[in-house]
Structure 1
Amino acid sequence: MAEGEELEIIKNKLDSNGWSTSGKIYPSTVCRAWMFMSLIRDEILEISLGPPLSAHETQLRRDELKRRSEEIYFQMPHELRWQPDDVERHRSMSAFQFSLQMALYQEYNMNKFLINRLPDGGSFSVKQDLVDTARKMLDGILVLCANRDKLTNNAIDFVCAIVYHGIPSAAILSVELLKQSKSPQDWRVSLPRSEIIQNLSIFIGALEWVRPSEGNYTLCIRMRKVIKRILDQVLDLPPPYSRSSRSPENSGFHDPAPADLAISSILGPQDEPDFLEWLNSVDWTRDILQDAWT
């Protein structure tokens, strides 16, 4: 173990948060980054699996975890952090650095997703921050789709990423898109409709890459079917102004469903409503990798 003058030289190469300033990625750098991510995840699981908290207590813990999660991620060296808008840097990045940055970025977003998904007094609610995080996670999956050649023998298993990060985010966005399309007068969160429809369409293609021999294949197939049905319904609906200007008796559509109405009452029986109800209410901290329909 280093000591004395040698130890001082090493300490001088670290920033105020203990990260190396050399610009190099060492094995210890990677381990330290994942250790910090795991500490946040451990606290999320403690809340999720522990005794129920009041809505106020949950909100306090949620705010604290969000703050610490952001501090941990943005204090990491530049070499570990994914910058979505830095296209030039992406092109010159090695396969190892790309995989590592994407893995940490997606895990950071997954922590935020789970924090926002913590139940308020025993019930789940969808808020803007959850939707925004889900969009970032799905964007990350699409980046992986476009760069699959960089994932070989590196930090990310593509199918695992689809199941672990893609399905939870796509589930939230699909359900909210369907609800808001059916009930445009009762928007609770802001959704960029065009972007989400395009990204979900690409994600359907990613789900088709999952082979029958892969784990959670059945879950991926059912998710693909449900997203396709949702997009069919969303795209078949007339524009909101058209629906609002036509009376129910003269329209081919029923009255818009309230945003809190059960998903099974929005979809028809052919759309596997039980599966979508599960997607809408699942506790991803408990069931994230369970294939309940194998």
Structure 2
Amino acid sequence: MMVVFQNKIIYMPSVPPFSRSEKVSDYARQCQPVVWTEHDLRAADNTKIKLLEGTIGVTADSKPRGHVVVLYFQGNASSLPPRLPYLSSILKTATNAQPGGKQYTIVALSYRGFWKSKGTPSQAGIELDVDATLNWVLTRYDPDRTRIVVWGQSIGAGAATVGLANLLRDGEDGLRRVSGLLLETPFVDLKAMLIGLYPQKFLPYRYLTPFLRSTWDSKSALQTIGKVKPNLKVLMLEAGDDEIVPRGQGAVLENICKKEGMAVDRKVVPGALHTEVLIKGQGRNHVVMFLQSI
């Protein structure tokens, strides 16, 4: 049963209840002055997906010196609207710290089957969603004044790394435009997660790994990325009290980045549970400082 229904176990768009009926307008006041705009997009298989684009209006006299666009991939549960106040706080802090400096934008993807996006979630399908979103960002923003950062949280970290590696199927130009990679509470792959969570050999879970249809193999993806973009800046954020991702996962990925020559920095946010990195001031500060360094 676990093998048959694994996608329903891994991807939980309806947790907590009513997640798919959340509205951006319900969080608008908490997000001010950041304004979030909805965009419709279609993946390669014609599945309709939803993007949210958040930015602070640029006045005529502010003349920002550059533009940092952050592409955000969420974790495996809930929807985007409840995350918007936290993402908005990143935009506000980064902008206020550099008045008249850079402009910051966050583009957040709602995977298929999540929130207003159509379809049913699976790794194969979400990879198509990520491909479409990356291409949308690369096409939408001026390459001469824009720096792109890809940010993934939990399973979204897998979507981020695998998505960047997949860019190479169309050549190296797309990946070379990416300046930063932010991995929040990442894991090596889902196989390593199973073994880490259930190390006891008498339990059946570790023996299910050959049947996984979703792997989100960040280790292999980072190795592929590093061959083409060894100067990529990488920030890994771990939750100090993470109850989901076993200890040591981030360290493995950090070593992979170092072997490939990438400029990687791994930070632990003390006292944070798996979904609390952005709730903690220290976690938000790490994100803001990383974006300002791009």
Report the TM-score, using the length of structure 2 for normalisation.
0.33
For the pair shown, the structure with the greater C-alpha radius of gyration is 1
Report the TM-score, using the length of structure 1 for normalisation.
0.33
